[in-house]
Structure 1
Amino acid sequence: MKTKLAFEDVSKQYGTGDNAVKALDHVSFHVNEGEFVAIVGPSGSGKSTLLSIAGVLLSPSSGRLILDGQDITNLSAKEMTKIRLDKIGFVFQTSNLVPFLTVRDQLLLVAEIAKKRDKEAEQKADELLAHLGLAHRRNHYPEHLSGGERQRVAIARAWMNSPELILADEPTASLDSKRGRQVVEMLADEVKSRRKAAIMVTHDERVLDLCDRVLTIKDGKLIATAGMKAGSQPLQHSHH
Structure 2
Amino acid sequence: MKSKLRLNNIRKVYQDGDTLVEVLKDVSLDVKAGELIAVVGPSGSGKSTFLSIAGALLSPTEGQILLDGIDITKASPTQMNHIRLNKIGFVFQNAHLIPYLTVQDQLLLLAELSGQRGREASKRAEKLLARLGLTHRAHNHPDTLSGGEKQRVAIARAWMNDPEILLADEPTASLDSERGRSVVKMLADEVKLREKAAIMVTHDERMLDLCDRVVFMEDGSLRSK
Fold conserved (TM > 0.5)? Answer: yes
Measured after TM superposition, the shift of residue 78 of structure 1 is: 1.5
Which amino acid letter does the alignment assign opposite residue 138 of structure 1? A
Alignment partner, residue 151 of structure 1? 151
In structure 1, distance between residues paired with 2:67 and 2:99: 32
Q: Does 1:100 align with 2:106?
A: no
In structure 2, distance between residues paired with 1:22 and 1:96: 30
Alignment partner, residue 4 of structure 1? 4
Give the match's secondary structure for 1:99: coil
Alignment partner, residue 196 of structure 2? 196
How many pairs does the alignment contain? 225
Deviation string 1:10-40 (CA, Å, 9 cap, x unpaired) is: 1011117842111110001100000000000
In structure 2, distance between residues paired with 1:117 and 1:84: 19
Give the match's secondary structure for 1:10: strand
Alignment partner, residue 180 of structure 2? 180
Ranges of 4+ aligned residues in structure 1 off by more than 4 Å? none
Measured after TM superposition, the shift of residue 126 of structure 1 is: 0.5
Q: Does 1:110 align with 2:124?
A: no
Give the match's secondary structure for 2:56: coil
Measured after TM superposition, the shift of residue 186 of structure 1 is: 0.2
In structure 1, distance between residues paired with 2:199 and 2:88: 11
Structure 1: gaps of 5 or more residues:
227-240
Q: Does 1:46 align with 2:71?
A: no
Deviation string 1:19-76 (CA, Å, 9 cap, x unpaired) is: 2111110001100000000000111101001100011001110010100110011122
TM-score normalised per structure 2: 0.98
Structure 2: gaps of 5 or more residues:
none
Alignment partner, residue 126 of structure 2? 126
TM-score normalised per structure 1: 0.92
Which amino acid letter does the alignment assign opposite residue 90 of structure 2? F
Alignment partner, residue 208 of structure 1? 208
- The share of aligned pairs that are identical, in percent, is 63
Deviation string 1:113-172 (CA, Å, 9 cap, x unpaired) is: 112122101000001001100000000000000000000000000000010000000000
Point out the more displaced range, 101-110 or 77-86: 77-86
Alignment partner, residue 142 of structure 1? 142
In structure 2, distance between residues paired with 1:18 and 1:39: 31
Point out the more displaced range, 17-26 or 91-100: 17-26
Which amino acid letter does the alignment assign opposite residue 168 of structure 1? A
Which amino acid letter does the alignment assign opposite residue 50 of structure 1? F
In structure 1, distance between residues paired with 2:17 and 2:149: 47
Alignment partner, residue 162 of structure 2? 162
